[in-house]
Chain A
Amino acid sequence: MNTLWSKWFKKKRWRPFPFQEEAWLAYLAGQSGLIHAPTGLGKTYAVWGGPILEWLAPHPDPKHWPEKIEPLRILWITPLRALANDTVESLRAPINDLNLPWTVDLRTGDTSAATRRHQSEKLPTAFVTTPESLSLQLSRPSSREKFGELRCIIVDEWHELLGTKRGVQTELCLARLRQWFPSLRIWGLSATLGNLPQALQVLLGTGAQMGNAKLISAQVEKRFELHTLLPRSMDRFPWAGHIGLTLLPDVIAQIEKVRTTLLFTNTRSQTEIWFQALRDARPDWADQIALHHGSIDRKMREEVETRLRAGTIKCVVCTSSLDLGVDFSPVEQIIQVGGPKGVARLLQRAGRSGHQPGATSKIYCVPAHAFELCEFAAVRDAIAAGQMESREPIEAPLDVLSQHLVTLALGGGFCEPAIRAEIQSTFAYRHLRDDEWQWVLDFITRGGTALHAYPQFHRVVKNGDDYSVTEPLIARFHRMSIGTITSDASLVLKFLHGRYLGTVEEWFIARLRPGDGFSFAGQSLEFVRMRDMTVFVRRAKKSARRVPQWLGGKMPLSTQLARAVREKLAAARRGEFTSPEMRALAPVLNVQSDWSLIPNPDELLIEWTESRDGFHYFIFPFAGRLAHEGLATLVAHRLSRMSPRSFTLTMNDYGFSLTTPTALDLNENDWKLRLSPERLVEDLLDCLNATELARRQFREIARIAGLIFQGFPGAPKSMRQLQTSSSLFYEVFNQYDPQNKLLDQARHEVIERQLEVRRLQRALAEAQAMQVRLKKLARLSPLAFPLWAMWVQAQVSTEQWADRVKRMVTQLEIAADKK
């Protein structure tokens, strides 16, 4: 090993881990690969060492080092902008200490225009960037020349990108760079996943590199403890309490024990609720607790992060915005409010504490409702058994491909047939069909295949086999729209005097009237007015209990964890209560057992009851909330196909409920028939025509494929004339260009991703093998109660929309006449 490098390690009082040395050697041997290790274990230097050692080999003597800064050699891709700053700092450490003639710099969406201009003249030796910024680079024709000395690409937090469209975007960018520089080495860093070999293949594509690739695992055990804060008595404990605030005193006591705590919740609205509760209970902590979530202004977030690093803060209430990457060494413990939802996720969060070598990661869990006790017990078992979730890669999304091809057409153009080979060298598009390929080419050059429909359209101009973009307006427009992250239209939140607060989703504000109060970033605010995508507020005089909801946070229970939960329940039925959580849950489970039944893994429990509102049916497949949304829709559709009727659906991670005005009158076999996996996709597509799902999914697709220009504050007026809603596109395409493949993609994505069809298929197949246990309830059982009490999430009806409106009007008129 090079002496300068090993000296630097010694000076830091570190000894290289075996996996780090393994990675350096593999890199020097010209290999690509994937390194997986828990956070805080030196993954960064495991990949950073290779390129440095490679440069030091022909430059052993600092006296003969060139004075000129080396050109771009390494691209470092990170999924999170928040991570980029810290990454740059750790990459710079050895560079500065050794005085290498290297520079490390970053570019993300936050980079200032001045820095950008400077960078467009001269790129640093190591360039830290996001997938979106890399795409943007590729849209500049000069990139190939500027990247001329590129040796290596490192993709950080690859598990975060895998299984997302950003991941696909990254695959496509990598394919382009591999095409330019065939000897390029590509390294990924990942947390532990259930499908690591596949993760490696997606990263490297189907080309030659795969044959010589290396999967390196850090064989370092990290100690881990999971405790649950148990409610003192189950009577006081709400079955469906939407927050576990009854445990607030215990949480406060736990926070008091150590210097710094991260308190994770599952949704942004819960962070607001918990932050308020903590502040109300402990006014003396006002300066020592803070809030951190993705909708809060960047400056406020950075301030919190700085204080975390310095250890001058007692507790930060946060969501997944602090799940990743950044190492906050002073954090001593983690508190998790609400169910863990996944094994890997909880482990990741636990890893945020105990960063010092040899330290133990400690996580304290706070159940939000009784059955989450069971989830905590189950997740401990799953971690002990090393059962980790997989991330399924996405297959061939045409919206991302369309965007990427326009990017390439801008960045110096592309030509057939070479481009197709390049695209198919990615994992995502390895099986791209001829018709799909032709359609995408038609879409970007002619707007679509419907010949008469798109006259004078010319986003990408085809000249023989060459494709390029010629219109400056189109180029500008496309560059502003690069990226695959979409969210519900978000509005800027500002004080009347102009100070920026953050963003909220449009649908939340749409429900407010001027004068209404709500809570944001821990402050009580009053809605004043909305103008040009900006919401103006003033500080409210009285404290507000309304909290903005962000739709993003609904994580379903993972299959791994659902299975572990069922095992725990089965054990409870046998009378085995081995963990403190299960012992605490025993009274609730006993009620479940007395009034109904605790289902075994080979039983499908269906409970039903009658109330003033109609008949309620509760079905418990334990397949996760998303799959239940699909199952509920499917069953409701199949039932109403026989005789039209109206259903109200609710679902959670354990099961779903159907509420209908008249009795269903089904026996065990009838239920099984409704849960048959036969004709699943056909039936799902049938119901989709009757619901809004595809229309909603189309929003993201339309945005990525370049149909919607999202606009930004200060966008020129000429751009505003180009804004329209995705649902309008959806209608127009459905009517005038029904062959449009983006419509297919929307339906397909709803089925694959929103409804998790594979999981549905599995759940239905499993249900066929199960014994149906039908139970009539005298009172709502503990399992049924949360579903009954839940907010109604979706509604399906086979009646025509107009009929329904008329019926509503008639009903209301009758009611009005009675008065």
Chain B
Amino acid sequence: MKNGEREIFWGGEKLTLLPERAVWWARQKTMFIADPHFGKASAFRFAGIPVPETSHDDDLHRLEKILQRHRAKKLVILGDFFHAKTGRSERTLMAFQEWRARHEKLEIILVLGNHDRHAGGPPPSWKIQCVPEPWVWEPFTWAHHPPKLLSENFVLAGHVHPAFDLHERSGLRATSRCFYFGLRLAILPAFGGFTGKHILQPVRGDQIFLVGDGEIIDATRLIR
């Protein structure tokens, strides 16, 4: 598919997985991302650890690119918008504010995650609607934390920063960020560039889509 994207049918709907680490729901003209962790670099610098700021500029740029590509009307963020209170530096806030001004028509919804509780929500002037999880938009339920028990609904969540471990018989190892699609639970990769990874242990019946360099790669057959 174009731009390295990949369409899948899940929960009776067509969803598009983007290598930029986002999900596009074409019927609703809505883009979904999880765990951007804006201001994480600033929080580190505040504690005396040098992390370049520019990584967040890249995140915003990437977001802009995919929203324009698909002419999105709506953006839903599945939690962890800001990383930490100390990360709400002036530069971080300004950068997003400018970005918001350029996309003022875009409707933005934030499903609140664990970091949002400590870091505080976005300023009201940004006009981001904050909703608690789980947030239902039929036929899906949207959340930050994946539910512990199998839900009756089809749930899409974040929080985990999923990655997949590739082994080769000869000993090569590599990990790659991925989308996880289970029976009724899907987990999005973390959108933020400066975020960690958590290795998933999927089982047969799950689907795994790797976020490769500019394309989505189906790794379902590699699940052991």
Chain A residues engaging chain B, CB cutoff 8 angstroms? 443, 446-448, 450, 452-459, 471, 473-474, 477-478, 510, 648, 706-707, 709, 717-718, 721-722, 724-725, 728-729, 732-733, 735-737, 791-795, 797, 801-802, 804-806, 808-809, 812-813, 816
Contact = CB atoms under 8 A, between A and B. Distances in A.
**Most B-side CB within 10 Å, residue of A452, A454, A457, A793:** A457
B48 A477 contact: yes
A724 B213 CA distance: 22
A72 B90 CA distance: 49
Given A721-B83, A813-B221, A474 B47 contact: yes
A795 B171 contact: yes
B49 A706 contact: yes
Interface stretch (B38-46, B63-71, B103-111): B38-46
Contacts of B218: 809
Contacts of B172: 795, 797, 804
B50 A707 contact: yes
B170 A448 contact: no
Nearest to B37: A721
Contacts of A648: 170-171
B210 interface: yes
A805 B212 contact: yes
Interface stretch (B25-33, B52-60, B130-138): B52-60
Contacts of B43: 721-722
A806 B212 CA distance: 10
Nearest to B54: A736
B162 to A, nearest CB: 15
Closest 8 pairs between A and B when the two form their complex, measured CB to CB: A447-B50, A459-B48, A453-B52, A736-B52, A474-B48, A792-B171, A457-B45, A736-B54
A733 B215 contact: no
B49 A709 contact: yes
Contacts of B221: 809, 812-813, 816
A793 B222 CA distance: 22
A454 B46 CA distance: 10
A443 B50 contact: yes
Interface in B180-224: 193-197, 199, 210, 212-213, 215, 217-219, 221-222
Contacts of A477: 47-48
Contact of B55 (A478, A736, A797): A736
Contacts of B193: 732
Nearest to B173: A692
A456 B51 contact: no
Nearest to A457: B45
A725 B197 CA distance: 9
A231 B179 CA distance: 56
Nearest to B194: A732
A471 B45 CA distance: 12
Given A473-B46, A648-B170, 7 more contacts: A471-B48, A721-B43, A732-B193, A792-B171, A805-B166, A805-B217, A808-B222
Contacts of A450: 52
**Most A-side CB within 10 Å, residue of B44, B48, B89, B196:** B48
B127 interface: no
Contacts of A806: 217
B103 to A, nearest CB: 23
Contacts of B222: 808-809, 812
A802 B54 contact: no
A794 B42 CA distance: 37
Contacts of A813: 221
B48 A794 contact: no
B174 interface: yes
A722 B47 contact: yes
B13 to A, nearest CB: 26
A457 B50 contact: yes
A478 B49 CA distance: 10
Contacts of A797: 172
A66 to B, nearest CB: 45
B156 interface: no
B61 interface: no
Nearest to A453: B52
**Most B-side CB within 10 Å, residue of A452, A722, A733, A794:** A722
A732 B166 contact: no
Contact of B52 (A443, A458, A473, A733): A733
Contacts of A457: 45, 48, 50
B155 interface: no
Contact of A795 (B42, B84, B170): B170
A810 B215 CA distance: 16
A736 B55 CA distance: 7
A732 B51 CA distance: 8
B168 A795 contact: yes
Contact of B196 (A446, A728, A793, A808): A728
B14 interface: no
A722 B49 contact: yes
B91 interface: yes
Contact of B54 (A453, A706, A709, A728): A453
B50 A794 contact: no
A87 B29 CA distance: 73
Contacts of A473: 46-48
16 contacts: A452-B54, A454-B51, A455-B91, A457-B50, A459-B48, A473-B48, A474-B47, A707-B49, A722-B47, A722-B49, A729-B51, A735-B55, A735-B58, A801-B174, A805-B166, A805-B210
A448 B172 CA distance: 34
Contacts of A732: 51-52, 55, 193-194
A707 B48 CA distance: 8
A148 to B, nearest CB: 31
A473 B47 CA distance: 7
B80 to A, nearest CB: 11
A791 B171 CA distance: 9
Contact of A794 (B44, B83, B171): B171
Nearest to A402: B50
Contacts of A729: 51
A616 to B, nearest CB: 13
Contacts of A459: 48-50
Nearest to B201: A513
Contacts of A453: 52-54
A458 B170 contact: no
B91 A809 contact: no
B52 A793 contact: no
A793 B174 CA distance: 15
Contacts of B197: 725
Contacts of B199: 510
Contacts of B166: 805, 808
A787 to B, nearest CB: 15
A477 B217 CA distance: 41
A323 B171 CA distance: 33
B174 A808 contact: no
A447 B44 CA distance: 11
Contacts of B42: 456
Contacts of B53: 452-455
Contacts of B51: 447, 454, 729, 732
A456 B46 contact: yes
B50 A448 contact: yes
Interface string B149-179: 0000000000000000010101110101000
B45 A454 contact: yes
Nearest to B90: A456
A381 B210 CA distance: 57
Given A456-B42, A802-B213, A809-B218, A792 B170 contact: yes
A458 B44 CA distance: 11
A732 B218 CA distance: 26
Contacts of B55: 732, 735-736
Contacts of B49: 459, 706-707, 709, 722
B47 to A, nearest CB: 5
A245 B43 CA distance: 54
B52 A454 contact: yes
A741 to B, nearest CB: 12
A448 B194 contact: no
